Chain A
Amino acid sequence: MALLSSPLGAPVRAVAKIRASVHVKLLAGFLLITLLFIAMTAVSLRTFAETARETNLLDQAHERVGWSRQIEHALAMQMHFTSMTLLSQGSDPVSLILRENNRFNDTLARLEIAAPAEERALIQAIRGAQDDAMATVADIANAVRDKRLAEAMTVLRTRQEPVYQKIETLVGSLVAAEETRMAKFRASLAATHRQSMRLMAGFAVASVVLALVGGFVISWSFILPVRAAHGFLSDVAAGRFGGTLVVPNRDEFGALAEHMTWMSRELRRLDDEQRVAAATLRGLNDRLALASRAKSEFLANMSHELRTPLNAILGFTEIILDELYGEVPANLREPLVDIQTNGRHLLSLINDVLDLSKIEAGRLELGVGEYSVQEIVEVVHASLRSLAIEKGLAFSVRVAPGIPTAWGDGRRLTQCLLNLAGNALKFTRHGRVDIDVSLADDWLTFRVVDTGIGIPKDEVENIFAEFRQVDTTITREYGGTGLGLSITKRLVELHGGRIGVESELGRGSTFFFTVPLRADGGPA
């Protein structure tokens, strides 16, 4: 902004402050230069006209000087021919004198028309003297004709010669006057020329200076706000909001600066709001984390608290059935087994709820390690075989040969397969349930195929959502929390895998999930 304090600062500021659009200012600048050009052209034309006029005057003066010379010549010839009249005593010279007289008069008449007013008197005097001279010529001619030679000589000497001398003197002053005038014109022309040169040079210099200053001032009145805006926007880019962009302009740049200031303030306001919101969210997040931790702790404690009495219920039931307290009467055995079945069901509910709440809180971590696919399938088969036999279902397992030791959470995957196979057995009344595991491109696919009741098409999408069973009456008929599939899905996804189902109502379902042979977290 050093420029604004320089002498040119004031006009720059002044141009900036003009309440006109940039377009108009530029147009005015160009118009100024154009006007200077037009003015310069006009001055040049005027100078040329002046010079031409003076040249013309000079020409005329020159012409008049020529005519004066002719008069002088004609006079000389007259005097010569007058003398000849005396010498030759004939009439020939008289006609020559008359010819010269005519030329004299013609030239004088032309001169009289062209001559300025002050020369008219002189010309009249010349004409009068010439008339006198012609009168004496006539007298001389008459005397010569009458052979009065002595008289003719006297007239020539006493009258003719003084008249010619007088004419000569008069013509001489005329020539001198015209020459003086010509000299004056010449000097005036030179002066006019010099003056017009000076005028044009001055105009040229003034135009260049004015155009340069005008261009400079106008362009800087545009550059200054742009520079100021550049600095201002650098601040905004660096996150320093809320400043004010001050420019003297009252044109588009002024409006732009106002908008930028407004924008910066708005950004400041939004930034402040965002900061407050972020702080609020941070506080909220901390409180949520605290609440989540409290919830997890509560669930862990609750789980243990629920398990302890359940342990007693199931423990006592088992040792009674094992007849540690003595023989069990036959009619009590069935209700005791019922207690055991319901206790176990209650346990599975507690486990599911705990698992799901841990998954929801994002606190469930996989305990990854090496596991054997064969072992998982065998555990599941062993756990469910008795149920299959009880329901009269065929239950087979098949593991593709050559599957290497895998990496992942073997126990959680066992839980997944147990869930799917358990469901399959639960929802199949007749036929069979088969477990099949295959490996392709380092992905393991666990498949459970049943010949059960199947799932309606519109329910397939929701089958993995929490607390979802196709029909709530199913819960009553088949039991279960409706959480098993949801938990299985989350566990498979934690392994980076995918779960799916293909089903045909009344024909059966195929549930499958795929997991990487070496799930995330394992060594490469």
Chain B
Amino acid sequence: MKDRTVLHIEDNEYNRKIVRQLLSRTTYRLLEAADGEEGLAVAKRELPDLILMDVQLPKLSGLDATRLLRADPRTASIPLVVVTSFALSGDDRKAMDAGASAYLAKPYSPRDLMALIHRFLPEN
């Protein structure tokens, strides 16, 4: 069976590095994008199995990108975790309204992120 693909859309290089490090010891294939437009393009091209979307992104915001992905029937059902900026800011509700499958408040514990990934996408 083909390895599960995770798309991480995040503009901060260090945060991408953390996820890269986290997934380096797993069987997941990691795709990365540094802004909303790129993330949307990669998602539509590669149709990953799980998308981790930062809420605040250059060019196209995470919430808008989420809405566009949900509007496209090919990407509408891909599990999508939005990384919000603050649990109490109201971003979480906006994320769920935009069509996210789950949200994770920043700063998140890498352990919690791994647990979420495992929940949506059990490792082979």
Residues of A at the B interface (CB closer than 8 Å) are 300-301, 303-304, 307-312, 314-316, 318-319, 322, 324-325, 343, 347, 351, 354-355, 365, 367, 411-412, 415
A412 and B88 CA atoms in complex are apart in Å by 8
Residues of B at the A interface (CB closer than 8 Å) are 12, 14-15, 17-18, 21-22, 24-25, 55-56, 85-90, 93, 106-111
Question: Cβ of B22: which chain A residues have Cβ within 8 Å of it?
Answer: 319, 324
Question: Cβ of A308: which chain B residues have Cβ within 8 Å of it?
Answer: 12, 15, 106
The 7 closest A-B pairs by CB, nearest first: A311-B107, A312-B14, A304-B85, A315-B18, A307-B106, A314-B107, A304-B56
Given A301-B56, A324-B22, A343-B107, 12 further pairs, Cβ under 8 A: A304-B106, A311-B12, A311-B18, A311-B108, A312-B12, A312-B17, A312-B18, A315-B18, A315-B108, A319-B110, A324-B21, A355-B88
Q: A322: which of B24, B88, B111 is its contact (CB, 8 Å)?
A: B111
Q: A325: which of B21, B85, B88 is its contact (CB, 8 Å)?
A: B21
A310 and B14 CA atoms in complex are apart in Å by 10
A307 and B55 CA atoms in complex are apart in Å by 12
A325 and B88 CA atoms in complex are apart in Å by 33
* Nearest chain B CB to A414 CB, angstrom units: 10
A294 and B14 CA atoms in complex are apart in Å by 29
- Given A312-B15, A316-B14, A367-B93, does the pair A322, B85 have CB atoms closer than 8 Å? no
What is the interface of chain A mostly: helix, strand, loop, or mixed? Answer: helix
Question: Cβ of B15: which chain A residues have Cβ within 8 Å of it?
Answer: 308, 311-312, 315
Question: Cβ of B56: which chain A residues have Cβ within 8 Å of it?
Answer: 301, 304
Chain B CB count within 10 A is highest, among A303, A315, A367, for A315
A304 and B90 CA atoms in complex are apart in Å by 13
- Given A308-B12, A312-B12, A312-B15, does the pair A351, B88 have CB atoms closer than 8 Å? yes
Contact status B93-A347, CB under 8 Å = no
A314 and B12 CA atoms in complex are apart in Å by 14
Query: Can you pick out 13 interface pairs between chain A and chain B where the beta carbons lie within 8 Å of each other?
Result: A300-B89, A307-B107, A311-B15, A311-B106, A311-B107, A312-B18, A315-B14, A318-B109, A319-B110, A322-B110, A325-B21, A354-B86, A411-B87
Contact status B86-A303, CB under 8 Å = yes
Contact status A319-B89, CB under 8 Å = no
- Given A314-B109, A315-B110, A319-B22, does the pair A411, B88 have CB atoms closer than 8 Å? yes
A354 and B111 CA atoms in complex are apart in Å by 26
Number of A-B residue pairs with CB-CB distance less than 8 Å in the complex they form:
72
* Nearest chain B CB to A301 CB, angstrom units: 8
* Nearest chain A CB to B65 CB, angstrom units: 16
* Nearest chain B CB to A297 CB, angstrom units: 12
Q: B107: which of A347, A367, A412 is its contact (CB, 8 Å)?
A: A347
A17 and B97 CA atoms in complex are apart in Å by 81
* Nearest chain B CB to A241 CB, angstrom units: 48
Chain B CB count within 10 A is highest, among A303, A310, A318, A412, for A318
* Nearest chain A CB to B19 CB, angstrom units: 9
Contact status B90-A367, CB under 8 Å = yes
Question: Cβ of A343: which chain B residues have Cβ within 8 Å of it?
Answer: 107
Question: Cβ of A301: which chain B residues have Cβ within 8 Å of it?
Answer: 56
A311 and B19 CA atoms in complex are apart in Å by 11
Q: A319: which of B12, B18, B88, B106 is its contact (CB, 8 Å)?
A: B18
Chain B CB count within 10 A is highest, among A312, A325, A343, A367, for A312
Contact status B88-A307, CB under 8 Å = no
Question: Cβ of A367: which chain B residues have Cβ within 8 Å of it?
Answer: 90, 93
- Given A316-B18, A319-B21, A367-B90, does the pair A303, B107 have CB atoms closer than 8 Å? no
Contact status A415-B14, CB under 8 Å = no
* Nearest chain A CB to B17 CB, angstrom units: 8
Of chain A, the residue at the smallest CB distance from B87 is A411
Of chain A, the residue at the smallest CB distance from B109 is A318
Question: Cβ of A304: which chain B residues have Cβ within 8 Å of it?
Answer: 55-56, 85-86, 106
A310 and B85 CA atoms in complex are apart in Å by 11
A190 and B103 CA atoms in complex are apart in Å by 129
Question: Cβ of A310: which chain B residues have Cβ within 8 Å of it?
Answer: 107
A354 and B18 CA atoms in complex are apart in Å by 26
A45 and B90 CA atoms in complex are apart in Å by 108
Question: Cβ of A311: which chain B residues have Cβ within 8 Å of it?
Answer: 12, 15, 18, 106-108
A516 and B111 CA atoms in complex are apart in Å by 37
A412 and B110 CA atoms in complex are apart in Å by 25
Question: Cβ of A354: which chain B residues have Cβ within 8 Å of it?
Answer: 86, 89
Question: Cβ of B111: which chain A residues have Cβ within 8 Å of it?
Answer: 318, 322
Of chain A, the residue at the smallest CB distance from B93 is A367
* Nearest chain A CB to B64 CB, angstrom units: 16
Of chain A, the residue at the smallest CB distance from B83 is A311
- Given A308-B12, A308-B15, does the pair A303, B89 have CB atoms closer than 8 Å? yes
* Nearest chain B CB to A299 CB, angstrom units: 10
Question: Cβ of B87: which chain A residues have Cβ within 8 Å of it?
Answer: 411
A325 and B21 CA atoms in complex are apart in Å by 8
* Nearest chain A CB to B3 CB, angstrom units: 19
Contact status B85-A307, CB under 8 Å = yes
Contact status B21-A303, CB under 8 Å = no
* Nearest chain B CB to A380 CB, angstrom units: 15
Question: Cβ of B21: which chain A residues have Cβ within 8 Å of it?
Answer: 319, 324-325
A193 and B33 CA atoms in complex are apart in Å by 134
A412 and B86 CA atoms in complex are apart in Å by 13
A311 and B85 CA atoms in complex are apart in Å by 10
A431 and B87 CA atoms in complex are apart in Å by 33
Contact status B107-A315, CB under 8 Å = yes
